[in-house]
Amino acid sequence: MQYKGLVTFPSEREFVTYPWVYWDNGFTDAEVNQIAAYCAAGELKEGKTFAGYREDIRRSKIQFNTWTEANGWIFDKLIDVVQVINNRWYGFDLNGFDAFQYGEYRAEEGGHFEWHTDMHFGAENRQIDDYGLQQPRKLSLSMALNEPGVDFEGGELQLNMGHQDLISMPMPKGRIVAFPSFLLHRVTPVTKGVRKSIVLWVTGPKFS
């Protein structure tokens, strides 16, 4: 794998793999509010898992957004963020993403998402196009659309590294966090208010 682009500390990206990284100020506060308003105006559906609708595993309202003239600017800015993060920290062979998902975790519904990975793995009873996938998800990103501790409580995004304490990823409004899609993660129950975010999964050919 050949990294593209220049960075200040090339040795760090060559030898260190961080479980997660973050980007602040990729969008202005006004732009974050605009994204939230745009998504909230659309229809929301109950989020599901590979096993179907399982409230014990996942309880959230979601909406998938593909590119349109109205939201194209969101995709453009996200692509820039993805490229910088991947070039500096991960160096995955990526092709892109065709949608982002808006999600709401509501305290009144016990909103949460138990431990899972975003990367899909094979199963005998799963058709290859169940999720419209042609390539593996390799890099996951999530952006907070409202403020923890103000608009909601709970709803922490956590990583499980398997050999150490759980990692809670602080997500103030507007922050974008990124992590490899094969890592176990969860959203803890929201205990007050509504947690709002967008997530996307960047795909590419199989790891080699």
What is the average pLDDT across 115-137? 68
Considering only 4-18, 24-38, 88-102, 125-139, which range has the smallest mean pLDDT? 125-139
User: pLDDT digit string (tens) for 93-120?
Assistant: 999 999 999 999 999 999 999 999 998 8
Res. 6: pLDDT tops 90: no
Q: What is the pLDDT of residue 1?
A: 43
- Neighbour-count burial of 74, counting CB atoms closer than 10 A to its CB (0-12 exposed, 13-18 middle, 19+ buried): buried
- Structural domain boundaries of the chain? 18-118+131-197
pLDDT higher than threshold 70 for residue 122: no
Is 61 a residue whose pLDDT tops 80?
Answer: yes
User: Does residue 130 register a pLDDT over 60?
Assistant: no
**pLDDT higher than 60, residue 137:** yes
What the block records as the tokens of 113 is: 């998402």
User: Cα angle vertex 13, ends 8, 15, to 5°?
Assistant: 130
The residue with greater pLDDT, 32 or 58, is: 32
Helix (H) or strand (E) holding 12, with range, is: helix 10-15
State the average pLDDT for the chain: 88
**What pLDDT score was predicted for residue 37?**
97
User: How high is the pLDDT of residue 129?
Assistant: 46
14 CB contacts (<8 Å, ≥6 apart)? 3
Cβ burial, residue 93 (10 Å; 0-12/13-18/19+): middle
Q: Is the dihedral of CA 32, 151, 105, 178 positive or negative?
A: positive
Q: Between 125 and 177, where is the model more confident?
A: 177
Max CA pair span of the chain = 48
- Rounded distance between C-alpha atoms, residue 34 and residue 174, angstroms: 12
Q: Given a cut of 70, is residue 71 above it in pLDDT?
A: yes
At 165 the pLDDT is 77
Q: How far apart are CA 54 and CA 139, in angstroms?
A: 25
Fold classified for 18-118+131-197? Jelly Rolls (2.60.120)
18 or 153, higher pLDDT = 153
| Structure confidence at residue 3 (pLDDT) | 54
Mean pLDDT to the nearest integer, 40-66: 87
Q: Is the dihedral of CA 8, 9, 13, 16 positive or negative?
A: negative
- Most confident among 54-58, 132-136, 202-206 (mean pLDDT): 202-206
What is the C-alpha to C-alpha distance for residues 206 and 208, in angstroms, rounded to an integer?
6
pTM above 0.85, yes or no: yes
